[in-house]
Each structure stands twice: as structure tokens, then as C-alpha cells.
């Protein structure tokens, strides 16, 4: 319970994965596909857009195997499955943000809330420890929902058993942050570890 006029205490913090905890080199993947198909990077990007591949993958409507087969059949992709996975899962850890997450989880519940796909998340679980240290994960491909859809944030609140005002959501994309704020969630747009520390501190979450 809080006194009238006081802000509720933060009980749960939701972290995005891509470009918050991990950096993903999308440009390198497009260049890999370009070399392996003989098509221009612009044509590759256009194929993703027209076929809505990111949306299908992140909603779980397209399996990793189907994703790979599409490039073989439609674009003439010449590399094998292993090379494809290596290029598709080109991540780099952001250690300062991981450190912040680890500090937060000592006092509050911490969850992942990410638009991601099965192949990416399987790789992340095998190669990074932070998925094993959170209290849960709200993943688009499992839920069939994507940020900034309100339903995925509501699912997160239900998972955390917390009211919107008792939570913080951290994401690098403006539209995802805005959608969370419309539901009353304390949302922070990620720009740097230093700014994240300051923003969390302003909400009473010392790290």
C-alpha cells in the first residue's frame, strides 16, 4: 500500500533483449545473404519486407527450418544450415547492461520481454547466462504477439503479478516505449548504460 500521492514501489522490471542486453548485427546478416545468393543487399532487404519474414518469425508462424528453406528455394541460398545459423545469430553481449540487470534482480523480479524468434532465443540460451537468471521470459514467438501490441504488455503484467505502475519496461525502440507508457507502465527508452542507471534511479530502482 502507498500513501495518497506517492508513487507505487517498483516490483518488476522488464528488459528487451536486442540492442539492450545484446547487440545484433543485422547488416552483416544481409551482406552474408547477398554473397551467398548473388543478389544485392537491397533485394534481400526488400524480400524480408515484402514477405513479412520478421513478423512471421517473431510470431512463431515460421519455423527456423522453414525460414532456411525459403532462402534456398526463393533466393538460391548456397550455404549450409550451420553457416546460415552462424550468420543469423551474430550477437554481441552488452556487459554493462547485463551488470545493471544483475543488480536489479537482487531486489526485484526481472523478466525478458522481447520480439524474438526460436532460432535466436535457442542460441541466446546456449551462449549467454542471463536467460537463466531472470524470473521469466515473455517472448513474441511463444505468445504469438509482438511489441508494440498492448496484449503483450498485458501478458507481461499478468506474469509478474504486478500493476502497470509497479513495473518498469526497458526497450531501445520509441514505439515500444510509447505503447508501454499508454498502459501506465514506467517505460525507459534505452540509449546507454549510464542513462539507464540514471532513469532507474529516478524511479527508485538503485543500481
Over pLDDT 90: what percentage of the chain?
93
Q: For position 7, what pLDDT does the model report?
A: 81
Final residue belonging to a domain, choices 88, 106, 128: 88
Over pLDDT 70: what percentage of the chain?
98
Identify the domain containing residue 154 by its residue range.
12-23+92-202
Residue 2: inside a domain, yes or no?
no
pLDDT digits (tens, 9 = 90+) for 13-33: 999 999 999 999 889 999 999
Q: For position 205, what pLDDT does the model report?
A: 95
Mean pLDDT rounded to a whole number for the chain: 95
CA 123 to the chain's CA centroid:
14
* Domain CATH code at residue 190: 3.40.50.1000
Query: How deeply is 93 buried, as exposed, middle or buried, from its count of CB atoms within 10 A (0-12, 13-18, 19+)?
Result: middle
| Residues 112 and 68 placed together within one structural domain of the fold | no
Q: For position 207, what pLDDT does the model report?
A: 87
| Residues 137 and 192 placed together within one structural domain of the fold | yes
Examine the pLDDT at 206 and tell me if it is beyond 90: no
Which of the pair, 85 or 2, is modelled with greater confidence? Answer: 85
pLDDT digits (tens, 9 = 90+) for 78-108: 999 999 999 999 999 999 999 999 999 999 9
Judge contact between 164 and 152, C-beta under 8 A.
no
| Residues 97 and 74 placed together within one structural domain of the fold | no
Examine the pLDDT at 3 and tell me if it is beyond 70: no
DSSP labels, 193-207 = HHHHHHHHHHTT---
Average pLDDT over residues 162-176: 98
| Residues 120 and 191 placed together within one structural domain of the fold | yes
| Residues 48 and 105 placed together within one structural domain of the fold | no
- Residue where the block lists cell 526497458: 170
Residue 107: inside a domain, yes or no?
yes
| Residues 40 and 98 placed together within one structural domain of the fold | no
Domain count, the chain: 2
| d(C-alpha 26, C-alpha 18), whole Å | 11
| Residues 47 and 108 placed together within one structural domain of the fold | no
Does this model's pTM top 0.85? My answer is: yes
- Residue where the block lists cell 534481400: 44
pLDDT-derived band at 165 (thresholds 50, 70, 90) equals very high
pLDDT-derived band at 1 (thresholds 50, 70, 90) equals very low
Final residue belonging to a domain, choices 88, 107, 136: 88
Residue 116: inside a domain, yes or no?
yes
Q: Which of 1-5, 47-51, 107-111, 200-204 has the lowest mean pLDDT?
A: 1-5
Residue 195: inside a domain, yes or no?
yes
Residue 173: inside a domain, yes or no?
yes
Amino acid at each position: 500500500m502507498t500513501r495518497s500521492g506517492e508513487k507505487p514501489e517498483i516490483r518488476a522490471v522488464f528488459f528487451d533483449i536486442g540492442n539492450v542486453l545484446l547487440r545484433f548485427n543485422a547488416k552483416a546478416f544481409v551482406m552474408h545473404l547477398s554473397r551467398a545468393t548473388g543478389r544485392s543487399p537491397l533485394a534481400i532487404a526488400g524480400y524480408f519486407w515484402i514477405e513479412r519474414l520478421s513478423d512471421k518469425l517473431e510470431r512463431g508462424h515460421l519455423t527456423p527450418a522453414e525460414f532456411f528453406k525459403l532462402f534456398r528455394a526463393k533466393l538460391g541460398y548456397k550455404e549450409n544450415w550451420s553457416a546460415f545459423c552462424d550468420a543469423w545469430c551474430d550477437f554481441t553481449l552488452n556487459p554493462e547492461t547485463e551488470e545493471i540487470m544483475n543488480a536489479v534482480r537482487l531486489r526485484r523480479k526481472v523478466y525478458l520481454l522481447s520480439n524474438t524468434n526460436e532460432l535466436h532465443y535457442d542460441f541466446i540460451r546456449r551462449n549467454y547466462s542471463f536467460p537463466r537468471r531472470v524470473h521469466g521470459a515473455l517472448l513474441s514467438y511463444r505468445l504469438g504477439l509482438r511489441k508494440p501490441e498492448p496484449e503483450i504488455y498485458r501478458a507481461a503484467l499478468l506474469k509478474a503479478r504486478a500493476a502497470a505502475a509497479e513495473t518498469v519496461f526497458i526497450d531501445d525502440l520509441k514505439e515500444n516505449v510509447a505503447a508501454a507508457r499508454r498502459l501506465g507502465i514506467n517505460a525507459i527508452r534505452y540509449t546507454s548504460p549510464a542513462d539507464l542507471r540514471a532513469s532507474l534511479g529516478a524511479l527508485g530502482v538503485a543500481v
